[in-house]
């Protein structure tokens, strides 16, 4: 009757847990394989409740193995005997079965420097940047940063200083252990507790004469962190993380206790040394585990614990549904949709960088049709200004500027090339396919200027990765990236694509000819071996002899199968319309900086491919989503949310657009280098062109490929310039808008309404009207009063910001 053919090895307590019944439980990892005597695997059991929240119930679950091949305590499996079995995990009414396999249960693997000793050193924090991992070491002893160079570390620990650091004849009394345990003064204090597992691993290694690893040692290929995500119902709950390392021979190992945990938002969740995390407050956190050269993360959501009603919106589109799904997880209600006036101004600024005129305002407001917003978006994206705006954005990323000997003539042709491609309707992928493999003279074939702007293979590789793949690989030039997956091999493999860019002069001394050298390469600084071109995050490139490396690269970059290119494109377009990317900063996608909504990013990437990287179509789709059309005001549930598009963000207009708008409303023009009088600031060809207003308001000088060169942060000089500078006061009087309006309309109150419409895209409110009326009555000359009003409007945040 009780056919309990089970072994209850671990008995937590027999009291049934209280609390609600889960809809399911999940057990991580989903299979266990123990391959040697010291192999262990920790499990984490997550109960999922009807509201979508999860709870770590590992401590309250029962673990039953149907054959006694392993022992289980604290959800931690240790091998007993070889064989296969099923492990039943039971929590309340829910059960999950996972396979367990044990082999070589009695076999003790020899200690490995690479896999065991280095794990102890990394976990103890010896090789961090502020300790011995610093470029010049610390207190006379250097290790490679986060252990990117294990062979070098082995040399430095054992043989660099003869017998100072180790003493194999008295392992427990050598400098390495004396320092680590704080028995002798150590700037880093006590890093390893005597009698801990770490301490014993070190002493045992020394006792075995500090051997190095055999050449054919298994190599770590990756780590997994469990669970990948957790949703906490309220602050105060705890959850444990399990880290599993995967090796080249197919084995795995629980390395939780040797991993270093870091969180990115302690106000939502913090993580302890053992990988136990605690929800501290509502919000999101990303918890990273680092082991050896790998970093992986777990996405944590903490709800406020207050009652929440799911938002239901039958009219929501694809984009909206993904945004709402995330907001539901967070228990956040989105803000409502903005009114027509707000939408009109927002769409104008975002799509063409100008403000709606009074006539445009009137006709839009008068339109009663349901699809008037759609019609407006279609009208705006077909205006040439839309192309100009995007040409400016790409020009920033291509760093189009007179630098490194690029002459005005070459620059003009470079800028002209980009604009002509965009006005012809060419999309970014085909532009990139023309840009990256470009050869020829810098006058004849403008895109070769890209290779004159930056000339070193390393920087070219960094820029291409940052601009077209949204990834910063700079760190990996000198050491494996500590918080991402990039290693020095990846870095130099990618840089190798640019190792055959040749330069020679041309007839005209201002011109440079770029050609493919068809030989040469780049060498790895640690191994000094020549590195073959390798796609970033992909395989080594198969390049037929005689083919230009860059040709192969540009094809790989822009192929629809390259998710990074499409995601990056989608993210750049998205960020333009929200002031913040799904990955933010847009060009810093990495393991430790994950997208706030991966499903949304994937959707945009899919759309990008579907639309063949046509900015217009993607922009149209985004602008017509409810998500784009939300108000900027907050409700009580999204007060703290800045990353999940639960509302629109108020964004200061970028420098060029702001100046164009000021010129537009004051009816004035400016002259810029390289443009005829009256040209728009967004069309300035040269990043190095100087303009006081634009520099003050953070125009990108295009000195690097980083999107951070565009600065939208407020400064005191901006405020002072608007208050006292020529740009406002001077343009108001020279543009003679007020006298013209006075002449045209007569009534000062009608003029004030017209000024409101011009600058803010709305009519003055009743209280504003009354104040204006009173103020105008006080000032003797209505023109002066109205010009004062105009000046005041240009100084309002409402004017400066797109909301």
Partner 1 sequence: MFTSLRYATILLMLAPVNSMSQENVPTYDGSIKSILIKRCGKCHGGDQPRGEFEVGTFDGIMHGGISGPAIVPGNSADSLLFTLTAQIEEPSMPPNSPKIPASEIELIRTWIDRGAVEKAGSNMTTARQGAADTGRERQTPTGLKPFQPMTAATAVTAVAVSTELGLIALPAVKSIHLYDLANGKPKGQIEFPEGEVHSLAFHANGQRLIASGGVGADSGAAVLFDTKDWKRLAEVRDDSEAIITADISSDEKLMVVGGPLKTVKIYTLPDAKLIHTLRKPTDWVLSTSFSPDSLLLAAGDRFGGLFVWESRSGKEFLTLRGHTKGVTSLAWDASGDRLASASEDGTIRVWDLHSGKESHKWLAHQQGVTGLGVTSTGDFVSTGRDRMIRIWNASAEKIAEFGPINDIPTKLATSPSHIIIGDWSGKVYLLKSGKNTLDNLQIPVNSSNTFAIGTIEIPLPELADSRAALSAETSKFSDSKLNSNSVVIPPPRQVTQPDIERKRLTLRALEESAERLKQEASMDPTNSLLIKAYLQVCESIVSIKADLIQTEQVLTKRNADSP
Q: Would you tell me how many other CB atoms lie within 10 Å of the CB of residue 449?
A: 28
Rank residues 25 and 381 by Cβ distance to partner 1 and give the closer one: 25
SS3 labels along 166-216: CCCCCHHHCHHHHHHCCCCCCCCCCCCCCCCHHHHHHHHHHHCCCCCCCCC
Stretch that binds partner 1, among 2-10, 286-294, 518-526, 655-663 (CB under 8 A): 2-10
**Of 184, 507, 716, 774, which one interacts with partner 1 (CB under 8 A)?**
184
Pairwise CA distance, residues 309 & 284, whole Å: 19
Rank residues 14 and 215 by Cβ distance to partner 1 and give the closer one: 14
| Binding status of residue 33 toward partner 1 by CB under 8 A | no
Residue by residue, DSSP assigns 538-603 as SPBP---TT--HHHHHHHHHHSTT-HHHHHHHHHHHHHHHHSS-SSSSTT--BTTB--S-HHHHHH
Nearest approach, Cβ of residue 411 and partner 1 (Å):
45
Binding mask 267-286 for partner 1 (x = CB under 8 A): -----x-xxx----------
| Binding status of residue 490 toward partner 1 by CB under 8 A | no
Yes or no: say if 42 and 70 are a contact pair by the CB < 8 Å rule. Answer: no
DSSP 8-state class, residue 779: S
SS3 label, residue 503: strand
Nearest approach, Cβ of residue 155 and partner 1 (Å):
10
Among 479, 471, 601, smallest CA distance to 536 is for 471
Cα 407 → chain centroid: 35
Q: Would you tell me how many other CB atoms lie within 10 Å of the CB of residue 744?
A: 10
- Whether residue 29 is preceded by a cis peptide bond, meaning omega within 30 degrees of 0, is yes
Rank residues 110 and 416 by Cβ distance to partner 1 and give the closer one: 110
Given the DSSP bridges, would you call strands 32-34 and 94-102 parallel, antiparallel or unpaired?
parallel
| Binding status of residue 86 toward partner 1 by CB under 8 A | no
| Binding status of residue 298 toward partner 1 by CB under 8 A | no
SS3 label, residue 132: coil
Yes or no: say if 566 and 535 are a contact pair by the CB < 8 Å rule. Answer: no
CB crowding 206-229: b at 16 or more within 10 Å, else e:
beeebeebeeebbebebbbbbbee
Site for partner 1 in 118-157 (CB under 8 A): 140
| Binding status of residue 80 toward partner 1 by CB under 8 A | yes
Site for partner 1 in 205-234 (CB under 8 A): 207-209, 234
Nearest approach, Cβ of residue 38 and partner 1 (Å):
7
Nearest approach, Cβ of residue 640 and partner 1 (Å):
22
> Is the CA virtual torsion 506, 509, 514, 516 positive or negative?
positive
| Binding status of residue 90 toward partner 1 by CB under 8 A | no
Stretch that binds partner 1, among 183-191, 406-414, 524-532, 665-673 (CB under 8 A): 183-191
Site for partner 1 in 230-269 (CB under 8 A): 234, 236-240, 242, 256-257
| Binding status of residue 52 toward partner 1 by CB under 8 A | no
Stretch that binds partner 1, among 55-63, 307-315, 543-551, 584-592 (CB under 8 A): 55-63
Number of residues that bind partner 1 (CB under 8 A): 90
Rank residues 168 and 760 by Cβ distance to partner 1 and give the closer one: 168
Site for partner 1 in 326-345 (CB under 8 A): none
Pairwise CA distance, residues 181 & 171, whole Å: 13
Site for partner 1 in 186-205 (CB under 8 A): 186-190, 196-197, 200-201, 203-204
Distances (CA, A) of 144 to 149, 213, 531: 6, 18, 21
Rank residues 18 and 369 by Cβ distance to partner 1 and give the closer one: 18
Where would I find the beta strands (DSSP E) of 517-586?
522-523, 530-531
Nearest approach, Cβ of residue 70 and partner 1 (Å):
9
**Of 25, 32, 34, 57, which one interacts with partner 1 (CB under 8 A)?**
57
Stretch that binds partner 1, among 109-117, 371-379, 605-613, 741-749 (CB under 8 A): 109-117
Provide the β-strand partners of residue 84.
Answer: 101
| Binding status of residue 682 toward partner 1 by CB under 8 A | no
**Of 21, 23, 59, 740, which one interacts with partner 1 (CB under 8 A)?**
59
677 burial via Cβ count (<10 Å: 0-12, 13-18, 19+): exposed
**Of 94, 123, 179, 345, which one interacts with partner 1 (CB under 8 A)?**
179
CB crowding 476-485: b at 16 or more within 10 Å, else e:
bbebbbbbbb
Nearest approach, Cβ of residue 317 and partner 1 (Å):
38
Rank residues 212 and 631 by Cβ distance to partner 1 and give the closer one: 212
**Of 50, 135, 136, 162, which one interacts with partner 1 (CB under 8 A)?**
162
162 burial via Cβ count (<10 Å: 0-12, 13-18, 19+): exposed
| Binding status of residue 81 toward partner 1 by CB under 8 A | yes
Rank residues 32 and 406 by Cβ distance to partner 1 and give the closer one: 32
């Amino acid at each position: 009757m009780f056919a309990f053919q089970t072994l209850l090895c671990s008995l937590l307590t027999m009291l049934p847990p209280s609390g609600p019944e889960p809809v399911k439980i999940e057990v991580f990892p989903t299979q266990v394989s123990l391959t040697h005597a010291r192999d262990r695997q920790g499990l984490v059991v997550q109960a999922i409740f009807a509201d979508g929240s999860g709870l770590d119930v590992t401590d309250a679950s029962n673990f039953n193995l149907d054959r006694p091949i392993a022992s289980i305590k604290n959800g931690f499996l240790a091998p007993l005997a070889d064989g296969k079995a099923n492990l039943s995990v039971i929590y309340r009414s829910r059960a999950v079965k996972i396979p367990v396999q044990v082999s070589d249960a009695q076999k003790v693997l020899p200690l490995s420097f690479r896999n065991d000793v280095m794990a102890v050193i990394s976990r103890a924090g010896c090789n961090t940047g502020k300790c011995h991992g610093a470029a010049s070491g610390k207190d006379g002893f250097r290790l490679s940063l986060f252990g990117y160079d294990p062979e070098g570390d082995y040399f430095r620990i054992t043989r660099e200083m003869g017998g100072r650091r180790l003493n194999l004849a008295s392992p427990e009394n050598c400098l390495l252990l004396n320092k680590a345990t704080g028995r002798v003064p150590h700037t880093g204090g006590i890093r390893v507790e005597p009698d801990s597992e770490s301490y014993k691993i070190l002493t045992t290694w020394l006792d075995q004469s500090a051997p190095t690893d055999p050449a054919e040692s298994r190599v770590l290929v990756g780590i997994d962190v469990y669970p990948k995500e957790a949703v906490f119902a309220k602050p105060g709950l705890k959850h444990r993380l399990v880290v599993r390392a995967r090796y080249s021979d197919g084995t795995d190992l629980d390395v939780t206790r040797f991993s270093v945990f870091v969180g990115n938002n302690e106000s939502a969740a913090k993580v302890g040394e053992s990988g136990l995390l605690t929800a501290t407050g509502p919000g999101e956190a990303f918890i990273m585990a680092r082991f050896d050269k790998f970093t992986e993360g777990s996405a944590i959501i903490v709800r406020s614990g207050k009652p929440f009603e799911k938002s239901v919106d039958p009219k929501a589109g694809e984009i909206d549904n993904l945004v709402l799904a995330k907001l539901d997880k967070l228990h956040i209600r989105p803000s409502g949709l903005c009114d027509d006036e707000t939408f009109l101004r927002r769409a104008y600024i975002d799509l063409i960088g100008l403000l709606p005129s009074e006539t445009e305002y009137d006709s839009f407001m008068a339109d009663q049709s349901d699809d008037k917003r759609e019609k407006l978006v279609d009208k705006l994206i077909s205006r040439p200004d839309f192309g100009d705006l995007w040409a400016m954005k790409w020009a920033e990323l291509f760093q189009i500027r007179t630098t490194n000997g690029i002459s005005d003539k070459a620059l003009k042709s470079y800028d002209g090339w980009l604009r002509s491609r965009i006005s012809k309707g060419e999309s970014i992928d085909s532009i990139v396919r023309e840009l990256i493999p470009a050869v020829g003279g810098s006058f004849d074939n403008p895109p070769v200027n890209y290779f004159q702007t930056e000339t070193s293979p390393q920087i070219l590789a960094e820029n291409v990765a940052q601009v077209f793949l949204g990834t910063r690989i700079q760190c990996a030039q000198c050491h494996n990236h500590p918080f991402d997956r990039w290693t020095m091999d990846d870095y130099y493999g990618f840089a190798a694509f640019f190792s055959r860019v040749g330069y020679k002069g041309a007839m005209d001394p201002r011109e440079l000819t770029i050609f493919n050298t068809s030989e040469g390469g780049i060498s790895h600084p640690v191994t000094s071996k020549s590195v073959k071109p390798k796609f970033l995050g992909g395989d080594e490139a198969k390049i037929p002899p005689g083919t230009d490396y860059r040709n192969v690269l540009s094809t790989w970059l822009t192929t629809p199968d390259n998710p990074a290119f499409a995601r990056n494109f989608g993210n750049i377009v998205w960020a333009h319309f929200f002031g913040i990317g799904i990955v933010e900063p847009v060009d810093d996608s990495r393991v430790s900086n994950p997208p706030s909504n991966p499903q949304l990013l994937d959707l945009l990437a899919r759309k990008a491919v579907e639309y063949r990287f046509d900015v217009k179509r993607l922009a149209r789709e985004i602008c017509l989503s409810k998500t784009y059309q939300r108000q900027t005001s907050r409700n009580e549930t999204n007060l703290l949310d800045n990353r999940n598009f639960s509302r629109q963000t108020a964004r200061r207009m970028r420098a060029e657009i702001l100046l164009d708008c000021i010129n537009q409303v004051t009816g004035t023009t400016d002259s810029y280098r390289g443009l005829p009088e009256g040209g728009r600031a967004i069309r300035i060809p040269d990043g190095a062109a100087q303009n006081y207003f634009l520099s003050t308001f953070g125009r990108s000088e295009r000195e690097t490929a980083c999107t951070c060169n565009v600065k939208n942060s407020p400064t005191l000089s901006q405020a002072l310039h608007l208050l006292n500078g020529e740009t406002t006061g001077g343009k108001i009087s020279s543009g003679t808008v007020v006298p013209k309006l006075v002449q045209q309309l007569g009534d000062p109150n009608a003029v004030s309404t017209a000024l409101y419409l011009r600058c803010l895209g709305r009519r003055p409110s009743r209280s504003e009207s009354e104040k204006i009326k009173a103020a105008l009555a006080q000032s003797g000359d209505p023109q002066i009063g109205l010009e004062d009003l105009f000046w005041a409007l240009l100084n309002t945040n409402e004017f400066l910001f797109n909301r």
